[in-house]
Chains A and B, each alone.
Chain A
Amino acid sequence: MSGAASISLVRFIIIYLLLLIVIAIMKKSKINQTKLLLVASIRMTLQLIIAGFILTYIFEHPHPVFTVLYLASMITFAIHRVLSRNKELNTSFKIVIGFSLAFSGLGIVAYFVMAVVNQSIFYPQYTIPLSGMIIGNAMTGVNLGVKTFLESISAEKPRIEALINFGAKPKDILLPFVNQSLETALLPTLNNMVGMGIVSLPGMMTGQILSGTIPTTAILYQISIMIAICTVVCLSVFGSLYLGYRTLYNERNQFLF
């Protein structure tokens, strides 16, 4: 076993035929998203082709600058995604989220690559794919956590108003919402860990096995990445919300939302 059997281009095209099934079902169920499906498929194809070329280039010329640039753009993109989906946030809250994502993401990537895999953080072949998984999951987690937090404080406005008018401290009023949202953001990762290996072979493990890594090595990576993901989600959501909720009131204990 050495490397995945390479797919010939003609046979690769065959995979797109499967999309006809999706289109047929969408038509039958009157789901008007055929256009989105096409755009999504084309975008995915183009973006991955570009990523493939860039990664090939970087792996052949492994200069630290490339790794750093890749990491930086990944983090910028992740922050941008979270902030553009939660536009109503105040500026300080946005800054807090940016720093939480960047610090927890970079910290966990560094720990994983340097301490666990025992490679240089500048070595692109490990840092780039691993940070993609770690930062991507942090982004999803923070997005879910912040969204849940904002939705719940807006849904529970009467409770918040009653408590502030009765002389409760803003911190005591908002912390339960922070904790609840952190739990909501963590649950998908935890549930994922529970089903792992039984319901599905996870993506990274599948990839490694396909490319010829023995399964016992592949599971070590998979376990490590799951723990890293769990930690990064927990850290980044906690950081975002725990530091962020303080931006919602001033020193006179008046809410700013």
Chain B
Amino acid sequence: MHILSIKSLNFKNKIFYKDVNIEKGQIVFLRGASGSGKSTLLRLINATLPLEEGTILYNNKDIREIDTITLRREIILAGQSVYLFPGTIKDNFKRYHEYRESQVPSDEVIRSLLDTSCIDFDIDTVCNNFSGGERQRVFISIALSFKPRVLLLDEPTSALDNATADRLMSNLVTHCKQNYMTMIIVSHDQTITEKYAEVTIDIGEGVK
């Protein structure tokens, strides 16, 4: 069964998407020029943008028939604009889980997720002075702590050096496989895409 199916989808008659089926547990990369509609597609999938024409099926159900909050608690989008609350890493896990009305993970789980995201800091470290790349990775580890069925990542390696980017991707793929998670990643990084993509979707080409 496909976890996501995209059919005759377009956004405001400006961006047209090819029909695509995504299988459960797949690692999918979206490629395309800036402004081709990659981030828009992620936002259509998690229903933070209104879907006007075409269909997106999630587990064979039209996402328009699914409660948006329920949907967004299963399909997590870690977007390009990273936000961390002032305070420690642990405070951030707490704040975000409070907002989602979900159980805050144990310190042990937080540590292991930070490890997955290549963050070596202790959970009581204050985030305020973190670099862009560090913030991005803490943000991703928070996204992982929500145990998403589908994880949407928008340029997760944009602020990282090549070595860290590679290590992060490798860890994320392992984490995904262990947890039967589907991952859809927008990336400009050619090397990463070629190395880790099981499926690559080109956005902005094949416009009818």
Q: Are B83 and A254 in contact (CB under 8 A)?
A: no
Neighbouring B residues of A80 by C-beta, 8 Å = none
Instruction: Tell me, in angstroms, the Cα distance from A254 to B63 when the chains sit together.
Output: 14
Contacts of A164 in B (CB 8 A): 48, 72
* A161 touches B (CB below 8 Å): yes
- Rounded to whole Å, the gap between the CB of B5 and the closest CB of chain A is 20
Decide yes or no whether A16 CB sits under 8 A from chain B.
Answer: no
Interface residues on A, range: 10 to 19
Highest count of chain B CB atoms <10 Å: which of A165, A169, A252: A165
Q: Which residues of A contact B78 (CB under 8 A)?
A: 165
Which B residues are CB-close (under 8 A) to A162?
A: 79, 81-83, 96, 139
- In the complex, the answer to whether B50 meets A252 with C-beta atoms within 8 Å is yes
Q: Check B69 against A161 for contact (C-beta < 8 Å).
A: no
A173 at the interface (CB under 8 A from B): yes
Q: Mark B77-110, 1 if CB is under 8 A from A, else 0.
A: 1110111010000000000100110000000000
A202 to B139, CA, bound (A): 52
Does B47 contact A159, Cβ atoms closer than 8 Å? no
**When the two chains form their complex, are residues B68 and A161 in contact, meaning their CB atoms are under 8 A apart?**
no
Q: Which single member of A166, A169, A253 contacts B76 (CB below 8 Å)?
A: A166
Interface string of B48-66 (1 = CB under 8 A from A): 1110000000000000100
The yes or no answer to B73 lying at the interface (CB within 8 A) is yes
- When the two chains form their complex, are residues B49 and A254 in contact, meaning their CB atoms are under 8 A apart? yes
Given A172-B99, A254-B68, verify A166-B48 contact (CB < 8 Å): no
* Cα–Cα distance between A164 and B69 once the two chains are bound (Å): 9
* Contact yes or no, A161 B72, CB < 8 A: no
What is the CB-to-nearest-CB distance from B208 to chain A, in angstroms, rounded to a whole number?
A: 27
Residue positions of B touching A, CB distance < 8 A:
46-50, 64, 68-69, 72-73, 76-79, 81-83, 85, 96, 99-100, 139, 142-143, 146
Q: What are 12 A-to-B residue pairs whose CB atoms are below 8 Å?
A: A161-B81, A164-B48, A165-B46, A165-B72, A165-B79, A166-B96, A167-B146, A168-B100, A252-B50, A252-B68, A253-B68, A253-B69
